[in-house]
Amino acid sequence: MADTLKNNPSSHEQLSFAPPKAMSVYASFSQSISTVWAAKIAWKWFLTPYAFKIPKRELPFEVRFGAPELFTHENGLKFPVYRLGTGTKHLLLVHGWAGRFSQFHMLMDFIEQKYPDLLKEYTLTGFNAVAHRGAEGKSTMMPEIGTCIAQITSRYGPADLLIAHSIGCNAAMHATAQSGAVIHKQVLISPPGRISDMVRIFCSALGFNDKVKARIVVNLKQSFGENFDSFSAPELAPKNTIPTLVIHDTDDRDTPISMGREVGQNMNNGTYIETSGLGHRRILRDARLAEQIYDWSFNES
């Protein structure tokens, strides 16, 4: 049974991806003409992170890290990696789809207040994956984000603590299972469900029909094999060996609570916490939850 942390928001959080009406109209028009044409459009959109403008509240955190080092991904594209601190331990921040590492600013500010020597004992690493803020490329896939994690841990050593959000949770688990990344302890916030479920949610949001959805599934099978869902967090959870804290909010509109429960309740070597009233992104900025993350990450053996 999950622990529950209740909050009382004044309003519901909007979807991370609320498609412009023009996109939905174009989706409907394209599939009325040709399923093949519509499927090509849908596949491109499915792999393209929406370019959100960074909020002003995140900029001071990004600036603290100074100029990033540009890593070259195995696909040849460059992505920025930021480092802060002088500690020998390694804390790695992994953003979600269409996100950026600076989204963790309030969580890390809270931890620093509780743990003044954090940056003497740990070095923080943040990065923006391929096709995200400051990186090259227009499109990407979850395994490519996992490769970013593997490259970073190969360069800087194992992550003593990894904190991930949304699809970054899946990428972290994939990096461990498929790319040899070494992670000693991890916090997974708002993990997604099976890849096939995310395809369903994506097509529903844009109005693509079942024929288009089936074509996206065919593309996924061609890229990752018939069992592409085996790379999903719910499938990887029972095989997990890393001490893991899983957190999901009952009012998450991007990744429904059923997805988080399947991950959290089946996570081997895991602790599962449910929150309410925080949604998918505001969950990263809640002080009460930050305290629980701090206690689990630094005060438990």
Task: Give me 282's structure tokens.
Answer: 């505001």
Tell me what pLDDT residue 107 has: 96
Tell me what pLDDT residue 10 has: 40
Tell me what pLDDT residue 300 has: 65
Coil vs helix vs strand at 200: helix
Helices (H), the chain: 21-33, 35-46, 59-64, 105-114, 118-121, 142-156, 167-179, 195-206, 210-224, 233-236, 257-265, 287-298
Q: Are 235 and 197 a contacting pair, CB within 8 Å?
A: no
Amino acid at residue number 15: L
For tokens 């499927």, the residue is 39
- Single pTM value for the model: 0.92
Q: Are 146 and 224 a contacting pair, CB within 8 Å?
A: no
Task: Round to whole Å and give the CA distance between 53 and 118.
Answer: 29
Contacts of 116 by beta carbon, 8 Å cutoff, 6+ apart: none
Tell me what pLDDT residue 227 has: 84
Task: Give me 184's structure tokens.
Answer: 């000693």
Closest CA to 234 of 182, 196, 278: 196
Q: Which parts of the chain sit beneath pLDDT 70? A: 1-19, 300-301
Tell me what pLDDT residue 11 has: 47
Q: Which residues pair with 196 in a beta bridge?
A: none
